Amino acid sequence: MSMAYEEYMRALITPMREELTANGFTELRTPAEVEAYMEKAEGTTLVVVNSVCGCAAGLARPAIVEAIRTAEKKPDHLVTVFAGQDKEATTKMREYFTGIEPSSPSVALLQGKEVAHFIPRSDIEGHEVEEIIENLHAAFDQYCA
């Protein structure tokens, strides 16, 4: 790919990355970072598979940020990978989502290394922000301390 394309994509997705990192998410950008995190994963972790699509921008990210801000019970850890941008990191994270089809955007709530709750794109796209927040709150209430 051309250097101009790479620069354009970096500039385009920076705010999309920052929407989560500015709200407490740690970005895992390489397979090694994913492995290092998952090797020591304890408690609950909310994993966001971020994306450039409209449903990520208009629904998923705003709902996730608001759900965490307003939840009584919250995950112990917040991490994100970026589908289509950090492809190898995303592929590595998806290896931990046993039996779940790749979907982006998507959200996984892990207990240790195991998926306890999963929200695929089909439960984001075409839904209201409030529905996604309710889905996340229900999962937090069930699985988080």
Q: Catalytic positions, please?
A: 53, 55
Task: Spell 94-123 as b/e; 16+ CB within 10 A means b.
Answer: bebbeeeeebbbbbbbbbeeeeebbbbbeb
Residue 2 CB neighbours (<10 A): 7
Amino acid, single-letter form, for residue 125: E
**Of how many residues is the chain composed?**
145
Distance linking the first and last C-alpha atoms of the chain:
46
Rounded to a whole number, what is the largest CA-CA distance in the chain?
A: 47
